């Protein structure tokens, strides 16, 4: 009997080590090694704060949680290339936290802010908010709160994004480029 229980303990440890590769401090996140690099999948876990993401992670998916803020620079590694924050409770982008973050994760290639509550508003999207994101290829801002204000120079906000290939926003007659 004793021998059997010791064996099962060893077996348990072994399986945890094999399948439960950890890349964040949140055990429910799934860590996958995909072609592009380490992928931390924390989608749909009811998170209202960020776990710490370990160094070397390339993709973070925290979509469909209850996050009200952007992650801080100590939560995410500079290796980050893809950040999916869609389907959360973000309401502003012009916070100190997001400013610091967008300066820090300057290898970012895709940012998904779809389905949040961030109005496309010139006061919130300040001119230099994306200044350092020169590698960003994809930016999704769809399904956010409709703006109450005219936004006539959105092009100035995305101008620093010199690698941008895909940019998605909801159509609104209040928004235009360089008029």
Phi/psi at 167 (5° precision): -135, 120
Q: Which of 30, 79, 110, 145 binds ligand NAG (CB under 6 A)?
A: 110
Shortest Å distance, C-beta 141 to ligand NAG: 10
By CB under 6 A, the residues from 7 to 26 that bind ligand NAG are none
Q: Which is nearer to ligand NAG, 131 or 169 (CB)?
A: 169
Of 47, 96, 84, 92, nearest to 67 by C-alpha is 47
The gap from C-alpha 15 to its chain's centroid, in whole angstroms, comes to 30
Q: Which is nearer to ligand NAG, 131 or 164 (CB)?
A: 164
Q: Residue 69 interacts with ligand NAG (CB under 6 A)?
A: no
The gap from C-alpha 68 to its chain's centroid, in whole angstroms, comes to 12
Of 50, 69, 46, nearest to 60 by C-alpha is 50
Binding site for ligand NAG (CB under 6 A): 43, 59, 61, 63, 82, 84, 86-87, 110, 112, 114-115, 138, 140
């Amino acid at each position: 009997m004793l021998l059997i229980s010791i064996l099962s303990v060893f077996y348990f440890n072994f399986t945890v080590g094999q399948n439960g590769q950890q890349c964040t401090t949140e055990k429910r996140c799934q860590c996958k090694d995909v072609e592009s690099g380490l992928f931390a999948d924390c989608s749909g876990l009811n998170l209202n704060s960020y776990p710490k993401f370990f160094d070397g992670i390339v993709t973070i998916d925290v979509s469909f949680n209850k996050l009200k803020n952007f992650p801080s620079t100590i939560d995410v590694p500079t290796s980050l290339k893809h950040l999916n924050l869609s389907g959360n409770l973000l309401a502003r982008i012009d916070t100190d936290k997001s400013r610091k973050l967008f300066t820090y994760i300057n290898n970012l290639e895709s940012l998904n802010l779809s389905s949040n509550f961030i109005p496309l508003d010139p006061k919130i999207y300040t001119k230099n908010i994306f200044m350092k994101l020169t590698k960003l290829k994809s930016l999704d801002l769809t399904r956010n709160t409709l703006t109450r204000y005219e936004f006539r120079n959105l092009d100035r906000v995305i101008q620093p994004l010199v690698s941008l290939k895909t940019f998605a926003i909801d159509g609104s007659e209040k928004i235009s480029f360089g008029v």
